[in-house]
Amino acid sequence: MGCSRKERVFMALLGIAAASGLTMLILILVKATDVFLPADTKFGIVFDAGSSHTSLFVYQWPANKEKDTGVVSQALTCQIEGPGIASYTSDPTQAGESLKGCLEEALALIPQTQHQETPTFLGATAGMRLLSQKNSSQARDILTAVSQTLSNSPVDFWGAKVLTGQDEGAFGWITINYVLGMLLKYSSGQWILPEERTLVGALDLGGASTQISFVPQGPILDQSTQATFRLYGANYSIYTHSYLCFGRDQALTRLLAELAQNSSAALVRHPCYHSGYQATLPLAPLRESPCVHTTDSLNLTQNLTVEGIGNPGECVAALRRLFNFSSCKDQEDCAFNGVYQPPVHGQFYAFSNFYYTFNFLNLTSRQPLHIVNDTIWKFCQKPWKLVEASYPGQERWLRDYCASGMYILVLLLEGYKFSEETWPSIQFQKQAGGMDIGWTLGYMLNLTGMIPAEALTQWRAQSYSIWMAGVVSAVLTLVAILGAAAVQLFWTQD
């Protein structure tokens, strides 16, 4: 016997109500964050405008930032062709033009729909700090040129600025501790400070400056060397200092000038260059460096013939003359040049030119100090012809690795006061956690406010509650309406 029309309508309405209830159940079982917060990816671009070259970094992070400690990851790195932007004093527009190739590569990676919301910054370091001291108008012209290029690109340009040495050191410290998971981790639905963590120090050797940053055991007695910030609900106070003119390139330029001034003829016997090496070098570029203080005895219009003698002992002696160690004599809390520094403490990551030099010398496996010292001395004593034959295709920097290796030893041991006992605490690394170590990530996190706050978890929970309340209310209302309609229909139908 078939159902009446009244029964069929009633069953249909009942089915709709049941389907609505089932839909509510499914939605409850589905993670609310998957519904409320789509797992798309955000991007950020940072230009590191160093003294010798410029690099571009693209960082990416999930929009909901719910990825354990790896909130931000490095998506791309690109080396800008040509020298550092401070070199474009005669044609500042070329400084801006030089950025376009890597910028196009970054924009090809980032979805076009997100270009206008991609925060983009340019931070210039010691090369531009030196230029600002020498000729502030030239520095402004270069920053204007790069700003114009980036402002005309389809990104959210946040500006170009010259970082202070202290900012460069502090941002590098934030970066290394962040990527190592020392500053936060995601656990039980919230961002928390790691229970067991050992904050590490940062050692950065650029082309024009070097930075040391770490948490000392005792109080920081000189406030000018103290950087304080608040990250993830915790306060940090670190020692950080930057030495302008003590970067790798400027140190070696100063060394050449010092040797030339002490030479009575147009021939310089260079103890840090390999025996058998000979080259004719113009001295005019020495005048362009604010780090070089020449005397009248040095004719900067002439060329200089440089011969290598491969003498490690004399090389170390010449490098020591670049430092003023006597100003810190018998002072425990003093590095060199009269600069306050508490005793080094904890583990350190040494990156940039610290890493590149020691990587070339195969000294990045935490070898004991006596092996490091012996390796560099033996390398410096190799004849130039043997060195050239052993490293084809690396002629550009090859003559300088002996001087660089020796300079690093003098800087770390006699400058920063590491010892044979504390040497094993230094790790020479280019990357950690799959990301390049440097100041750029810390700079981006600081300026964009991308550091995940505790409020994010609370907001997500509140959003979930509001969303669930809305779903339940809507479904229950629909069920009530359908139920009332069914009852009304049942009693009014014949």
From the list 2, 1, 21, 14, the residue with the least C-alpha distance to 490 is 14
Which entry of 97, 117, 168, 258 is annotated as an active-site residue? 168
Instruction: Tokens for 283, please give them.
Output: 């001295």
Residue 249: Cβ-neighbour burial (10 angstroms; 0-12, 13-18, 19+): buried
Amino acid (1-letter code) at residue 381: Q
Task: Please tell me the distance from the alpha carbon of residue 118 to that of residue 43, in angstroms, as a whole number.
Answer: 6
Task: Please tell me the distance from the alpha carbon of residue 148 to that of residue 132, in angstroms, as a whole number.
Answer: 19
Task: Please tell me the distance from the alpha carbon of residue 17 to that of residue 481, in angstroms, as a whole number.
Answer: 9
Instruction: Tokens for 264, please give them.
Output: 């009575």
Task: Please tell me the distance from the alpha carbon of residue 363 to that of residue 371, in angstroms, as a whole number.
Answer: 9
Q: Which helix (H) or strand (E) holds 307?
A: strand 303-308
From the list 181, 203, 215, 182, the residue with the least C-alpha distance to 351 is 203
Does the active-site annotation cover 168?
A: yes
> At residue 350, what are phi and psi to the nearest 5 degrees?
-105, 125
The arrangement of strands across the sheet holding 156-162 comes to: 73-79, 54-62, 41-49, 119-124, 156-162
Place of tokens 């980032």: 110
Task: Please tell me the distance from the alpha carbon of residue 146 to that of residue 159, in angstroms, as a whole number.
Answer: 9
- Reduced to 3 states, what is the DSSP secondary structure of residue 247? coil
Residue 4: Cβ-neighbour burial (10 angstroms; 0-12, 13-18, 19+): exposed
Residues pairing with 120 in the sheet: 45, 157
- Reduced to 3 states, what is the DSSP secondary structure of residue 348? strand
Radius of gyration of the chain (CA): 31
Angle at Cα 336 formed by Cα 334 and Cα 337, nearest 5°?
115
Task: Please tell me the distance from the alpha carbon of residue 333 to that of residue 350, in angstroms, as a whole number.
Answer: 21
For residues 298 and 281, is the Cβ–Cβ distance under 8 A? no
Core vs surface per residue 94-106: b (16+ CB within 10 A) or e: ebbebbeebbeeb
Q: How far is CA 39 from CA 36, 61, 62, in A?
A: 10, 10, 6
Instruction: Tokens for 27, please give them.
Output: 């939605």
- Catalytic site positions: 168
